[in-house]
């Protein structure tokens, strides 16, 4: 039984009981309500530039549309390979390969990387390459090129990497790079040197419940990946030419249904990306 996420076409973004906000409601063991993360109040793209040691922030005129993208901020770090905006824009997560760790930052201005303070916690991984974290701050998936594994952790304290426990991993060969939750955690997408992978999760955000793996041939070294939550677009970061490519998907969530790129945007040394 799938939980409702909209009423008459309007997304449900929250619910309260006696004035207390709830994220999930169950009846007789069945989930009948799951909150959808609120739509970000900005249209932005974040790109990891591993050569210059920068996380670059771009404002978009229209959501998930590269036309007219303009850089509006940046964060200096060592060798960023992936970037993720978390906790409704209040946190920034960066995978830093040379430091062998994933880093958590707080943002004093939501969604603005220029407002990042010090690193608040870290998750150590040799050659850290990809990262995503669920809205609750408990479920974390990573890509590790050193072991060619995708890994799944849970955090004992939400958004605190220092409390991480490794729960599971899956080796796929050919290096593992960017990895993302999509469709409120029903899917996980990850990239390797030659392929993109998609798993369905029977329990959202829990990678141990993965099933029905799909593989897609992608252009060599399309390391960054972002599939929109509605499955209509696929964006790829290609570090070799510093371009981000935008594709429409004629079949939602199916990367093989992409045609030619509908737009491209030059983001130097782009290797990992996130969009809100």
Q: Is the pLDDT of residue 83 over 90?
A: yes
Cα separation, 208 vs 249, in Å, equals 28
Residue 209 — φ and ψ, nearest 5°? -100, 20
Q: Which fold has domain 39-275?
A: Methylamine Dehydrogenase; Chain H (2.130.10)
- What is the structure's pLDDT at 150? 96
- What is the structure's pLDDT at 16? 60
- Sorted by where each begins, the domain ranges of the chain are 1-36, 39-275
Question: Do 218 and 226 contact (CB within 8 A), yes or no?
Answer: no
Q: How many CB atoms lie within 10 A of CB 202?
A: 11
Question: Do 102 and 158 contact (CB within 8 A), yes or no?
Answer: no
Tens digits of per-residue pLDDT, 129-177? Answer: 999 999 999 999 999 888 889 999 999 999 999 999 999 999 997 789 9
Total-model pTM: 0.87
Residue 163 DSSP SS3:
helix
From residue 26, how far is each of 12, 22, 77, 171, 239 by CA, in Å?
16, 11, 43, 34, 44
């Amino acid at each position: 039984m799938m939980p409702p996420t909209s009423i008459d076409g309007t997304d449900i973004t929250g619910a309260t009981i006696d004035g207390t906000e709830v994220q999930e409601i169950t009846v007789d063991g069945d989930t009948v309500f799951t909150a959808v993360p609120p739509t970000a109040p900005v249209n932005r793209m974040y790109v990891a530039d591993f050569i210059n040691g920068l996380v670059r922030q771009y404002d978009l005129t229209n959501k998930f549309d590269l036309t007219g993208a303009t850089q509006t901020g940046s964060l200096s770090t060592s060798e960023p390979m992936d970037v993720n905006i978390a906790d409704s824009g209040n946190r920034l997560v960066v995978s830093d390969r040379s430091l062998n760790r994933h880093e958590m930052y707080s943002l004093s201005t939501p969604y603005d990387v220029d407002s990042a303070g010090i690193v608040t916690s870290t998750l150590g991984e040799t050659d850290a390459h990809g990262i995503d974290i669920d809205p609750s701050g408990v479920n974390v998936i990573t890509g590790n090129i050193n072991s060619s594994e995708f890994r799944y952790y849970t955090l004992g304290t939400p958004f605190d990497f220092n409390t991480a426990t490794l729960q599971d991993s899956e080796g796929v060969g050919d290096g593992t790079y960017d990895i993302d939750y999509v469709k409120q955690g029903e899917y996980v997408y990850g990239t390797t040197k030659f392929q993109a992978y998609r798993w369905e999760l029977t329990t959202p955000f829990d990678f141990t419940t993965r099933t029905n793996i799909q593989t897609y041939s992608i252009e060599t070294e399309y390391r960054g990946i972002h599939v929109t939550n509605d499955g209509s677009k696929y964006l790829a970061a290609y570090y070799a030419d510093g371009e981000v490519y935008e594709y429409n998907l004629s079949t939602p969530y199916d990367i093989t249904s992409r045609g030619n790129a509908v737009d491209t945007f030059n983001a130097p040394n782009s290797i990992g990306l996130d969009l809100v």
